[in-house]
Structure 1
């Protein structure tokens, strides 16, 4: 019915087409199918909507399986597949969460036995470090980084490598499990052959543009040629898309760079502060506030990018609904992925590597010195950013927005109607179903729901080496998310138009791509962001006794304070109570008394070579294991495969019997014609003996 409404012409003009145009012109305010009935009235008649509200859209039934069959019956296959996929994803997060918690607890249990942390926390080492910023910052003792070093070990320990391998295999198992579940649903819902003979109908907007193009064409154009929108027709829209998306990505990078400048400037300001409270915990203050700013920016830009992506896709005028949806998803994913992961990628791979060294630092925007990592590395800051981003997006964007915004819109609609609460109650008793549904929020599709989970899947898999608790946070969020989405679909939104689908479409390709990229990203996080490789190289190549004793001293280089550039030395060089002649900084460089002072040392190149070797080996081994698991597990469950095979045999037997019946009928008809038709040479009437001969053959 909705397809007919989309294509019917409502004026004599060829370009006035469908309910979409009527809605756009304000002729109708909305068009939607009706819900079954009331859900909160105890005396209401039983219906599917009320059953879904009681047995699915309630937080008290979070431990129960979802009624996927009833969801499909009420909302359609497309919505049913989303909730089935979300259920499988949440179920698969349980083992990942358990292993992640075990890895975290292993770090907690071994923190007191971690030799590098013990050396940093040992005040007897008396190691003086170089200033963290110019002028305002002074020399500091390495022992003050004791807390950061101990906290970093919780996430940067040998178990992290095992967990990264496990999560790569987990992603493959999740994809295989979903393919099998999807195939089973296709069989149960009779969608096995759906889409093979289905024709994709053109969108009403596309047909409207084609009609406009037809009217503009020269009358001399051949009428036999079918008019369609070509690449040339869409070229302005394509150019607009490329330029706009490029600009939006540059805006994301610029904002991330602005947060970097904020961290640099606020750190210098806190060091210059005269308040002891402000100077007491500068690192934690800068890390946390910067992460919160990044979160706020991500949430705001996400809403803007979603609108921009839809506008750009509308400009391109895709031919079919499937093409429109895929293009919209791709644009939205690119913009939101860049928005969410730009600060994380910077912390993981760039911060601390574009710094320089004491006496020769790298500056940006004039006098801003690029920030460096703490001695324990940037992994702790990466973990804080991931934690705040995940929790913030889940609590604020995913849950608070999904609960608060629909209620706020509903409240505004009530205020707009200018009715008191009593008048509203009386009105609700007299309102018909379609009038009550009109006050519900419009259904805008399930792409936003998928997008939330895809970004979350990226958080769980891409940087899991730095944050093993990510699967646990995702699991807790999804337990709430399932019931929250269920309540929203049943109670807060208008009933969607049922749509068939046999798979989750482009989302599966995005998941598969993220799974592949996650292997490479985690390999680089382990090799370059964590201290796993430097510790390994030191223990087996440079340590005199094969232990980690002396590792901290091995990672620190020397700097003669007389080599500071003019105007960059500390304003208070005697801050520690004694004169400092030599300070230390984390890098592998030659000492100032060497003939190649401050040049990269041999140890740096050895460790760099091992880092790249680890990335290559890790990537190939894990991907080989993933491909083996993929090959080992069949995509179709055995019982479903047997049932499909049996059905094909039955269909084949049926067609064979039907063909045999047609052949016998044809032979009988041919024999009847031979026996009963008069000869061309003899026009006399047929003989009586022909009748018994015909009956005899028919009986055979």
Structure 2
């Protein structure tokens, strides 16, 4: 299913490359001499907008009309994928004879029976405590993201404090922040995985399926926040509540990060690419290196005699296949759980933020092709043969995928509405531009600030040049507005743009939701061919049972008639002394049966 998504993503990239020369925003940023306001207070200097020329060109590869089409396509694709998966899952369930499998028929877990003997109360309080602690750890993940945000704000100040004149800081901050996020993600994951297992054991889940579903729900809830929170920050919060030069909204004394005049989508792409590709690369390496090292260690223990049998047991040293298999690592159920989790997280990257990273399906496809071969080698060469477990479907993972698909629709709608220039440019062309083109749109998005209005100790201390005015990316009135009370206030066009953004979100969500509902309705969960096969097999089964019962009944009836025809009886009337007499009560009658056949 990733193949068509990857091809459409490549098409969007080719379209953006073909239309780069006609992009007015990147052209104006590179050619116009516009003085921008300082990025920090006191120590930062004025800077020229053309410093972000390359950044704006790269931004066009993400923010262009093809992005809207790709977002709608991926919403349709995610629904189609889930519906086709349900059909394929039904085929597998039927093929493996699990159609009538019931979870209640699954035997209890040994750990459940062991702990149940000592349990005095129901496990409801344990479940509440378990999920409360899981929620607390999600807050810790959010706190880590907040720390990285503070680092980003402080880094911008310190970088410009040393008067670096190059523009590499535009890329250094998002790259280093994304790498820090990736490191924190792996550290928190290693801690939380053990905690989640302990919390789930505390819940007293009866069957292994119930245990796995509860564990998967807690771990994915944490992983969702751990992986996606920093990306959500860049997509929906960065640069949205900055303020303006005479009244900045500060956090811990630091000014909030501002988006480049070209937008924040480029930084969102950097963040997404590093976390997604980096996570896949690290997981692939760990999945291959760790089993190999474990096999080498196991072989080393056996060959050197470090692992010895008990003294009471007889030791048989042979060199056949089972002794070689003993050197392999034991396959645990958690190993398969990590494979599911990796695919579900990848599904989130591909769908939730695909507007900002059209190449995400392509990278996912490349990763999965390699993953299939590497997993095949891993399961065959490094692990012992696993013990199969009967399950009807993939369990709680499917509802998680369905919820992620719904979140993706809302996320892409907000990214297009608030993080791209699509809506502001559309409003500009319809209401502001006289010729209804996007010429002059860059100037429209930049507000003007009078440098004499800087608050005390916020203006540049040692500016490289004097500027009477500077520009900043906002929709605000200029300093020379007719009514002084409206100075630096929101103009009417800002509210028009906000209304257009909200209207787009409503229309986009309802349109996509309608398409998704139609897809779900038109594609049945079980294919007609499989449904006919199930009915035909049920019919044949019933016919076989009826035929067998009919033959069995006929055989019993035939045996009964044969017995009646071969057996006759005579009634003898006798008294209490045994003398034969016909004048006796019925209690003194005896019937003697004899075989009247040839052997009588």
Q: Normalising by the residue count of structure 1, what TM-score does the alignment of the two structures yield?
A: 0.76
Deviation (angstroms), 1:333: 0.5
Residue equivalent to 1:260: 149
Aligned to 1:521: 411
2:570–2:592 Cα contact (<8 Å) kept: no
Give the SS at the match of 1:134.
coil
**Post-superposition offset of 1:502:** 2.9
Which residue of 116, 138, 142 corresponds with 1:249? 138
The equivalent residue for 1:209 is 115
Is the 8 Å Cα contact of residues 25 and 262 (structure 2) preserved in structure 1? no
Q: Secondary structure at the match of 1:156?
A: coil
Give 1:167's match in structure 2, choosing from 70, 74, 95: 74
Within-5 A mapping of 1:110-121: 110-121=19-30
Q: How does 1:273-672 map to 2 (within 5 A)?
A: 273-274=162-163, 279-365=166-252, 367-396=253-282, 398-413=283-298, 419=304, 430-431=318-319, 433-445=321-333, 446-573=336-463, 575=464, 577=465, 579-594=466-481, 595=483, 596-658=486-548, 660=550
CA displacement, residues 379-432 of structure 1 (integer Å, 9 cap, x when unaligned): 000000111111101111x21111222233344445666849xxxxxxx99455
Query: Could you say what secondary structure the match of 1:534 adopts?
Result: helix
**Cα distance change, pair 242–294 in 1 and its aligned pair in 2 (3 A):** same
Greater CA drift, 437-446 or 350-359:
437-446
Distance in 1 (CA, whole Å) between partners of 2:202 and 2:232 is 32
Alpha-carbon distance in 2 for matches of 1:254, 1:685: 96
Count of aligned positions: 569
Residues 587-645 of structure 1 show CA distances to partners (whole Å, capped at 9, x for unaligned) of 11122223211111111111111111111111111111111112212322332222212
Q: Could you tell me how far apart the structure 2 residues matched to 1:238 and 1:642 are?
A: 43
TM-score computed with the length of structure 2 as normaliser: 0.88
| 1:468 positional shift | 0.4
Q: SS in structure 2 opposite 1:498?
A: coil
Q: Which residue in 2 is equivalent to 1:4? A: none
Q: Deviations over 1:51-84 (max 9, x none)?
A: xxxxxxxxxxxxxxxxxxxxxxxxxxxxxxxxxx
How far apart in 2 are the matches of 1:495 and 1:96? 35
Give 3-state SS (helix, strand or coil) of 2:386's partner.
coil
Q: How far, CA to CA, are the matches of 1:677 and 1:305 in structure 2?
A: 84
Report the Cα distance in structure 2 between the residues aligned to 1:188 and 1:448, rounded to whole angstroms: 26
Question: Please, which moves more after superposition, 338-347 or 556-565?
Answer: 556-565
SS of 1:190's partner is: coil
Per-residue CA distance 1:510-563 (angstroms, 9 max, x = gap): 111111211111111111111111111111121110100111111111111122
Structure 1: runs of 5+ lacking an equivalent:
1-91, 217-228, 421-427, 692-700
Contact 1:305 1:336 in 2 (8 A): no
> Using the alignment, how far apart are the partners of 1:342 and 1:384 within structure 2?
15
- The answer as to whether partners of 1:203 and 1:320 remain within 8 angstroms in 2 is yes
Asked which structure has the greater CA Rg, the reply is 2
RMSD: 3.0
Partner of 1:129: 36
Would you say the 8 A contact 2:196–2:218 is kept in 1? yes
1:152 pairs with 2:42: no
Are the counterparts in 2 of residues 556 and 587 from structure 1 also a CA contact under 8 Å? Answer: yes
- Rate the CA distance shift 1:272–1:392 in 2: closer, same or farther, 3 A: same
Offset of residue 687 of structure 1: 11
Whether the 8 Å contact between 2:242 and 2:255 is mirrored in structure 1 is yes
* 1:171 positional shift: 1.1
Q: Give runs of aligned pairs for residues 174-193 of structure 1, distance below 5 A.
A: 174-193=81-100
Query: What is the alpha-carbon distance in structure 2 between the residues aligned to residue 257 and residue 328 of structure 1?
Result: 27
CA shift digits 1:73-116 (9 cap, x unpaired)? xxxxxxxxxxxxxxxxxxx1011100001101111110110112
Give the direction of change, closer, same or farther, for the CA distance of 1:679–1:389 in structure 2 (3 Å limit): farther
Shift of 1:654: 3.1
